[in-house]
Amino acid sequence: MTKATTTRTRSTTAVRKATTARNAPDASVTEGAEQADTGAGETADELRKSDLIEKVVAASGEKKKHVKPVVEAMLAVLGQTVSEGRTMNLQPFGKLMVTNRKDKENGEVLITRIRRSQQAADQAAEEVKTPLAEPGEES
């Protein structure tokens, strides 16, 4: 009985991990990479929409039911703006410029550049440490 072979493409992440594992000097490097992988091709340090909503809830002290529609609307506006190729200057996030765009069958690929001053980076780090409102405070 012969075994049927199938052609399978490997994702860029899988290729990168395989290359890293092959070139890694010791096993501890590859163990760390495997632990960071969530299994769906995403890394543990990736910020998801639900994570963003939770962080905004924590930073603002507002209830999740009030924060979620605002965050979703903001992401829709940001996505539309980037899709149009417009430059965004949103301090302390930074200045985001679309440098290249390519339409694909299942979406679009946007190459962007983000420039952020050291002062803006320091300000963002400080804002993360201090909440916008006290717990239980109404707006």
How far apart are alpha carbons 44 and 37 in whole angstroms? Answer: 6
Name the residue with tokens 């903001």: 74
* Run of H or E including 126: helix 118-129
CA distance 18 to 20: 5
139 residues of the chain, pLDDT tens digit each: 555 555 555 555 554 555 444 444 444 333 444 444 444 555 678 999 999 999 999 999 999 999 999 999 999 999 999 989 899 999 888 899 999 989 899 988 989 999 988 887 787 777 766 665 666 666 5
DSSP 8-class letter at 89: E
Instruction: Give residue for tokens 């399978």.
Output: 8
Model-level pTM? 0.56
H/E stretch holding 109 reads: strand 107-115
Cα Rg of the chain (Å, integer): 21
